[in-house]
Structure 1
């Protein structure tokens, strides 16, 4: 499985599945599907539903 990158459509913050977001409670290697539904963007507070997968 190739890690994917997800972008917050509100502020542009990127979530890289390979890197995770350890400072925000998400371990490296965590697929987007396993990120909790109530998780919010650490930059602007947008909901997980406000993210879209992007090609980098």
Structure 2
């Protein structure tokens, strides 16, 4: 059984990354898992590092 998609939130600005939706404007196709995003990726809204995101339940 596939793991459920998760949502990750930027601690600085609140930007939400939803694995199910991805972020096509940032080159992240729908279904792109958080673990598959490069470690040097930054928030597209404020530039915060990926390490400063938290998984959230919505």
TM, length-normalised to structure 2: 0.93
Q: Quick check: which has more Rg, 1 or 2?
A: 2
CA shift for structure 1 position 25: 1.3
TM-score (norm 1): 0.96
Q: How does 1:31-42 map to 2 (within 5 A)?
A: 31-42=33-44
Match of 1:28 in 2: 30
Matches within 5 A, 1:1-56: 1-56=3-58
Q: Which runs of 4+ in 1 moved over 3 A?
A: none
- 1:47 and 1:26 map into 2 onto residues whose CA distance is 16
Equivalent residue pairs, number: 56
Q: Which ranges in structure 1 are unaligned for 5 or more consecutive residues?
A: none
